[in-house]
Amino acid sequence: MKFSKTSNLYSLDKSTYVNLRWIGYIGQLITVLVVEFFLEFNFNYFSCISIIVLSILTNLYLHFYIKERQLNNLKSTTFLGYDILQVGLLIYFTGGITNPFIFLIIIPSVFSSIYLSKWSSIFLVIFTIILLIILTFFYHDLPHPDTLHFHAPNYYLYAIPLSTIIGLIFLVYFASKFGEESRIKKKAYDKLQELVAKENELLSLGGQAAAAAHSLGTPLSTILLISKELQKEFKDNNKIKKDIDLLVSQSNRCSDILKKLSLNPNIEDDFIGMNFSLLDYLNEIVRSFQEISNKQFIINSDLYKNSLKIIKSSEIIYGLRNFIGNANKFSKNKIEIIIISNQKNTEIVIKDDGPGFPKDLINKHRLGEPYIRTTDQINISKYGLGLGTFIGKTLLEKNFANISFKNRKSISGAEVKIIWKNSDLSKI
User: What is the CA 108 to chain-centroid distance, rounded?
Assistant: 28
Residue 278 and residue 425: Cα distance in Å, rounded?
A: 10
In DSSP terms, 340 is beta-bridged to 347
Label residue 423 exposed, middle or buried (CB < 10 Å: 0-12, 13-18, 19+).
exposed
Residue 115 and residue 182: Cα distance in Å, rounded?
A: 9
The answer to whether residues 18 and 104 belong to one domain is yes
Q: 3-class SS at 230?
A: helix
Q: What is the pLDDT of residues 236-272, one digit of tens each?
A: 777 788 788 888 888 888 877 777 666 555 444 444 4
Work out the angle between the directed axes of helices 73-92 and 14-33 (0-180°, nearest 10): 10
Q: List, for the chain, all residue ranges whose pLDDT scores fall below the cut of 50.
A: 1-7, 266-273, 377-385
Q: Of 331, 382, 329, 327, which Cα lies nearest the Cα of 353? A: 331
Question: CA angle, corner 362, sides to 361 and 366, nearest 5?
Answer: 50
Residue 150: per-residue pLDDT: 58
Residue 397 and residue 424: Cα distance in Å, rounded?
A: 11
Residue 193 and residue 175: Cα distance in Å, rounded?
A: 27
Whether residue 6 lies inside any domain: the answer is: no
Pairing between β-strand 345-352 and β-strand 414-421 as defined by DSSP bridges? antiparallel
| Domain CATH code at residue 341 | 3.30.565.10
Whether residue 167 lies inside any domain: the answer is: no
Pairing between β-strand 296-300 and β-strand 334-341 as defined by DSSP bridges? parallel
CB 415 within 8 A of CB 350: yes
CB 361 within 8 A of CB 367: yes
pTM score: 0.50
The answer to whether residues 283 and 419 belong to one domain is yes
Q: What is the chain's Cα-based Rg?
A: 34
The answer to whether residues 283 and 416 belong to one domain is yes
The answer to whether residues 303 and 390 belong to one domain is yes
- The number of distinct structural domains making up the chain is 3
Label residue 110 exposed, middle or buried (CB < 10 Å: 0-12, 13-18, 19+).
buried
The answer to whether residues 418 and 312 belong to one domain is yes
The answer to whether residues 255 and 141 belong to one domain is no
Label residue 280 exposed, middle or buried (CB < 10 Å: 0-12, 13-18, 19+).
middle
Phi, psi for residue 42 in degrees, rounded to 5: -95, 110
Whether residue 272 lies inside any domain: the answer is: no
The answer to whether residues 282 and 418 belong to one domain is yes
Whether residue 111 lies inside any domain: the answer is: yes
The answer to whether residues 215 and 340 belong to one domain is no
CB 86 within 8 A of CB 55: yes
Whether residue 49 lies inside any domain: the answer is: yes
The answer to whether residues 378 and 299 belong to one domain is yes
Q: What is the pLDDT of residues 67-115, one digit of tens each?
A: 888 999 999 999 999 999 999 999 999 989 888 899 999 999 998 998 8
The answer to whether residues 393 and 416 belong to one domain is yes
H-helix or E-strand spanning residue 405:
strand 402-407
Tally the residues of the chain: 428
Pairing between β-strand 70-72 and β-strand 334-341 as defined by DSSP bridges? unpaired
Whether residue 391 lies inside any domain: the answer is: yes
Whether residue 404 lies inside any domain: the answer is: yes
Whether residue 34 lies inside any domain: the answer is: yes
Phi, psi for residue 378 in degrees, rounded to 5: -70, -45
Q: 3-class SS at 346?
A: strand
Q: What is the pLDDT of residues 78-88, one digit of tens each?
A: 999 999 999 99
Residue 136 and residue 201: Cα distance in Å, rounded?
A: 62
Q: 3-class SS at 296?
A: strand
The answer to whether residues 23 and 98 belong to one domain is yes
Expressed as residue numbers, the domain containing 409 is 278-425
The answer to whether residues 95 and 221 belong to one domain is no
CB 269 within 8 A of CB 317: yes
Q: Of 17, 8, 20, 18, which Cα lies nearest the Cα of 182? A: 8
